[in-house]
Amino acid sequence: METQSSTEFLIQFWGVRGSIPSPGAHTVRYGGNTSCVDMRIAGKHLIFDGGTGLRILGKALLQNSPVEADVFFTHYHWDHIQGIPFFFPAFSEADCFHIHGQVPPEDGLSMNMSEHFRERVLHINSPVPVADIATQLKFHDLVCGEVFELGDIHIETMPLNHPNGAMGYRVTWGGFTAVYCTDTEHFPDRLDENVLHLARNADILIYDAMYTDEEYHNPKSPKVGWGHSTWQEGVKVSQAAGVKQFVVFHHEPNHSDEFLDQVYQEVKSVMPNAVLAKERMVLDVTKAAQGNNYWPE
């Protein structure tokens, strides 16, 4: 990972799977790590979720230590926090991380974000001694639905339709906008107004498209109520909201590279500028409308 320019708005994907890591010969090209996305904006790192992809990101960040970064959580299901105990910069006294998130409703009255992180996220069953975490941790309690500023970066949040709740983020800087919208399930009779609000005229929409419509409605094994959406619904949202580039994200762990290749062709047939998230893939938010806007780093 090279030192970034103060004029860049880049997104790099470090974990793109949902539910459980899926390493193996059939997931090499798209990757098997769970959710972790790094937005590199004007010299800052904004890290979204701490799935197993966070481990690889941590190794890259060590090359530029000391590091100060902001970490944002959508929610705290295992696949979004599994990488935290293996995030190497967390054991360096030289680094500093600002932790942003909303305490789940069941703990909201009894805990703040610092307490929730230390008692729920840094779990006692961790395979590494999380008590040895030495980095500076600074906690910021969010209220889902609020709007706030991080320097000259404007961030909006909205609740998503997911078991136990989740929070989507809209990040705007320099007149450009990227939206991180996972994990969420579409409604059967309408588009989700919260998702549409986040995605309005966005340059890039990263959307939970874990299933195909066929899988979601499969009468033998339906996925209705599981908290995830489909690429077809992501296309509907993108078209209705005026999104420039739709990114299929949170891939189902049983989807092979060959299966995702087929999904990619189907998505591009209706949205030519769409892409499927791959580990280490980089998107330039300022060029989202130009097509072919991705490259491996």
pLDDT given for residue 241 in this prediction: 98
Specify the number of domains making up the chain: 1
- pLDDT tens-digit profile of 132-147? 888 899 999 999 999 9
Torsions phi, psi for 141 (to 5 deg)? -80, 125
In the predicted model, residues of the chain with pLDDT beneath 50 are: 3
| pTM exceeding the 0.85 threshold for the entire prediction | yes
The CATH number of the domain holding residue 14 is 3.60.15.10
pLDDT given for residue 17 in this prediction: 98
d(CA 209, CA 274): 12
Cα dihedral across residues 261, 262, 265, 268: positive or negative: negative
- pLDDT tens-digit profile of 181-228? 999 999 999 999 999 999 999 999 999 999 999 999 999 888 999 999
pLDDT given for residue 98 in this prediction: 96
Domain span including residue 44? 9-296
Residue 215 lies in a domain: yes
Query: Exposure of 122 by Cβ count < 10 A (0-12 exposed, 13-18 middle, 19+ buried)?
Result: middle
Residue 2 lies in a domain: no
Residue 3 lies in a domain: no
HSE, side-chain direction, 13 A CA sphere, residue 295: 6
pLDDT given for residue 105 in this prediction: 79
Residue 4 lies in a domain: no
pLDDT given for residue 4 in this prediction: 54
pLDDT given for residue 297 in this prediction: 52
Residue 78 lies in a domain: yes
Residue 244 lies in a domain: yes
